[in-house]
Amino acid sequence: MFTQNPVFIPGPTNIPERLRRAVDLPTIDHRSSAFAEMLLPLFDGIREIVKSRDAQIMIFPATGSAGWEAVITNTLSPGDRILAARHGMFSQRWIEMCRRHGLDCRVIERPWGEGAPAGAFAAELSADTDHEIKAVLVTHNETATGVRSDVAAIRQALDAAGHPALLMVDGVSSIASMDFRMEEWGVDCAVTGSQKGFMLPAGLAITALSPKAMAATETAGLKRAYLDIRDMAQANAKGGYPYTPPVALIAALGESLEMLRAEGLDNVFARHHRIAQGVRDAISAWGLKLCAASPELYSDTVSAVVVPPGFDGQEIVQRAAEVYGVAFGAGLGDVAGQVFRIGHLGMMTDVMALSGIATAEMVMADMGVQIRLGSGVAAAQEYYRSTTGAPAVAGAA
Ligand SMILES: *Cc1c(COP(=O)(O)O)cnc(C)c1O
């Protein structure tokens, strides 16, 4: 079995030993004060991660996709117009969910590999003088293409147009791994899940709502039941849940927040940036390109590598799994077969990343891709050893 190998999928991520132990709990009564003591500090902990002082935090027993559903159904009404760009599988799925809820989706098509277009959004928003658009949806980190969008620029587009639409941001593959500034960027709804930056199993949808978004929950007309934020807010205020919470995952989320706090959020972001840069150096040493169209779009949590013509990204992923027991991410949707993805978020170190780079090299060499074994590894090694932060050893090369 290959279960000792790290995974390089962009979620679920590797679970550190400390968090694996944290989910191993006897039953704790979720109506007890012991549970309330476990739950209540998490809200401040999440606020620290998303950088907001006043957001209402909710933790649903669900996954990130349910977080999307929670924020739209709790703040919008049937027929409301939303503005979004389609530039990857996750932005597409969120739009699709809005359509199913009967929202009027104004979609800007962008090539996959580009980010959310602040300029095109600005034009739409300033033309919308009647304020028909009720929400602007942004996928901060498009996990399908390895693209980070500029949320601050989209906030500026809203402000420049004096537009009151809610700003909703999918931070599922960025929050807790890349800088996210809810308050500074004026984000009204932020969504994430437990199995990416928080290094836990899947099972928690985490949402953060600004006071403005919370006010919208009072009048929203879309149907909501299980994910009704009003029930959750009421129960959470007393340290409880409107139904049975996944106590072990919630306990482990507390441990995850402790780990992130102990490392220091800025150090967590810097680590992800360094690891990502080493992976990117390896990709250029192979002579390959990223799906992300330009450097300011490069994601620090996932790299989507464009495979050379005549090769299938899906085959790379399959061979890595079957022969070497290592998981990479396949291309999704419009880029299926054209890319394979190296996830480097959550519990990831230089040494782990080097093993992923080495594995990708073996797989590509096996398939006849023209790359030199060790070229990517060497490029990443050079970058990692020159950026460890440790003083250089006198006399070393
Ligand atoms: C993983 C992911 C999701 C979906 O989350 P689930 O937990 O699988 O429902 C949504 N958006 C982005 C950007 C993601 O990376």
- pLDDT, tens only, 200-259: 999 999 999 999 999 999 999 999 999 999 999 999 999 999 999 999 999 999 999 999
Sheet harboring 289-290: ordered strands across? 289-290, 302-306, 339-343, 329-330
Query: Is residue 124 a contact partner of residue 106, using CB atoms and an 8 Å limit?
Result: yes
- Asked if residue 392 has pLDDT above 80, the reply is no
Phi, psi for 43 (deg, rounded to 5): -65, -45
Q: Do domains 17-261 and 265-386 have the same CATH topology?
A: no
Count CA within 13 A, CB hemisphere, residue 282.
28
User: What's the CATH fold of domain 265-386?
Assistant: Aspartate Aminotransferase, domain 1 (3.90.1150)
Ligand 1 center to 169 CA (angstroms): 12
SS3 86: strand
Integer Cα distance of 261 and 275 in angstroms: 19
User: How many C-beta neighbours within 10 Å does residue 348 have?
Assistant: 24
Ligand 1 center to 8 CA (angstroms): 16
Task: Kindly report, residue by residue over 244-300, the tens digit of the pLDDT.
Answer: 999 999 999 999 999 999 999 999 999 999 999 999 999 999 999 999 999 999 999
The predicted structure's pLDDT at residue 1? 54
Task: Kindly report, residue by residue over 34-61, the tens digit of the pLDDT.
Answer: 999 999 999 999 999 999 999 999 999 9
- How far is it between the farthest Cα atoms of the chain? 70
Task: Classify the phi-psi angles of 143: left when phi > 0, otherwise alpha if psi is within -120 to 50, otherwise beta.
Answer: alpha
Ligand 1 center to 172 CA (angstroms): 5
SS3 28: coil
Residue nearest to atom 5 of ligand 1 (CA): 64
Please choose from 172, 180, 195 the residue to mutate so as to test ligand 1's pocket, defined by most ligand atoms within 8 A of CB.
172
Q: Among residues of the chain, what percentage have pLDDT more than 70?
A: 99
For 17-261, CATH gives 3.40.640.10
**Average pLDDT for 141-159:** 98
Give me the residue label for tokens 């102990």.
262
DSSP 149-163: --HHHHHHHHHHTT-
Query: Is residue 187 a contact partner of residue 169, using CB atoms and an 8 Å limit?
Result: yes
Taking the domains of the chain in order of start, what are their residue ranges?
17-261, 265-386
